[in-house]
């Protein structure tokens, strides 16, 4: 089971992968400015209790964290201290967050982080070779128990095999969604899969994106089918199975 936790909302675009951000797109439908970062009413969700004293989020849940912002956003520095404390308290939950700001992680870790909280999975997002070469070395240098590489929105071919050490648990790839989505070439996805298989690391093709190029042909895929079509490709790889 899983639950979403967005302790704050809003973000600033910092690289090419942000150009067609889905959060900006969704906020735009409601005339909201995504650049206005605010704490949400769900801020303390992990530690909320029912009338009988039990946590509302039961033990064993996977908590997808800060998917309408970036957990390492500078504007959230004052709130993150409390967020880390809730994550530490709920060691019975598995927290996952993705970030384009991995260069900030080492400076904002909690004092008792050590080599990482066992219940935290961090995904470093890279969309092109320049960002992979900048972010992934930093990702590998920072102490994290569970690391995954998120190649999304995939904007070009990536050569990341030199970064795929045993410290990386999974590589995920996906195209860009939305009406303005840039094409994702299926060959780029297969290239990442080959690198993952060669290094014995799990690979997950999580979504096609709105415009998928395969064998030179452009396919336009509606949002509701993008995850299912990726699964149908049958290219996920898990060496532990």
CA distance to 18, 104, 168, 218, per residue, from 141 (Å):
24, 12, 12, 39
Q: What is the pLDDT of residues 39-75, one digit of tens each?
A: 999 999 999 999 999 999 999 999 999 999 999 999 9
Domain spans of the chain, in order of start:
1-119, 152-241
pLDDT at 1: 81
Write the DSSP symbol of residue 134.
Answer: H
Residue 30 pLDDT level (bands cut at 50, 70, 90)? confident
- 155 CB contacts (<8 Å, ≥6 apart)? 16, 17, 127, 128, 176, 182, 184
Q: Which two tokens stand for residue 195?
A: 């690198």
Residue 21 pLDDT level (bands cut at 50, 70, 90)? very high
- Assess whether the previous peptide bond of 153 is cis (omega < 30° from 0): yes
Burial of 213 (0-12, 13-18, 19+ CB in 10 A): middle
Whole-model pTM: value is: 0.96
Q: What is the pLDDT of residues 106-128, one digit of tens each?
A: 999 999 999 999 999 999 999 99
Secondary structure percentages of the chain, helix, strand, coil, to 5: 30, 25, 45
- List the 2-5 sheet strands across, edge first: 2-5, 62-65, 94-99, 120-125, 146-151, 168-174, 202-207
């Amino acid at each position: 089971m899983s639950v979403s936790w967005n302790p704050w909302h809003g973000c600033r675009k910092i690289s090419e992968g942000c150009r067609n951000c889905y959060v900006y797109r969704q906020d735009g439908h409601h005339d909201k400015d995504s650049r206005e970062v605010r704490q949400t009413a769900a801020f303390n969700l992990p530690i909320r209790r029912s009338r009988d004293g039990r946590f509302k989020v039961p033990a064993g849940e996977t908590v997808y964290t800060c998917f309408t912002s970036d957990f390492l956003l500078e504007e959230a520095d004052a709130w993150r201290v409390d967020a880390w404390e809730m994550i530490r308290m709920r060691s019975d939950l598995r927290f996952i967050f993705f970030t384009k700001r991995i260069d900030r992680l080492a400076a904002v870790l909690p004092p008792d982080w050590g080599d990482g909280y066992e219940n935290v999975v961090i995904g470093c997002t890279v969309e092109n070779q320049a960002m992979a070469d900048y972010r992934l070395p930093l990702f590998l240098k920072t102490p994290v128990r569970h690391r995954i590489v998120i190649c999304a929105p995939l904007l070009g071919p990536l050569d990341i095999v030199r970064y795929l050490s045993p410290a990386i648990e999974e590589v995920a790839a996906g195209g860009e969604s939305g009406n303005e989505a840039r094409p994702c070439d299926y060959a780029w996805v297969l290239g990442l899969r080959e690198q993952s298989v060669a290094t014995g690391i799990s690979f997950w093709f999580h979504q096609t994106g709105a415009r998928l190029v395969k064998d030179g042909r452009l396919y336009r895929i509606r949002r509701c089918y993008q995850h299912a079509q990726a699964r149908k490709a049958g290219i996920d790889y898990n060496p532990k199975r």
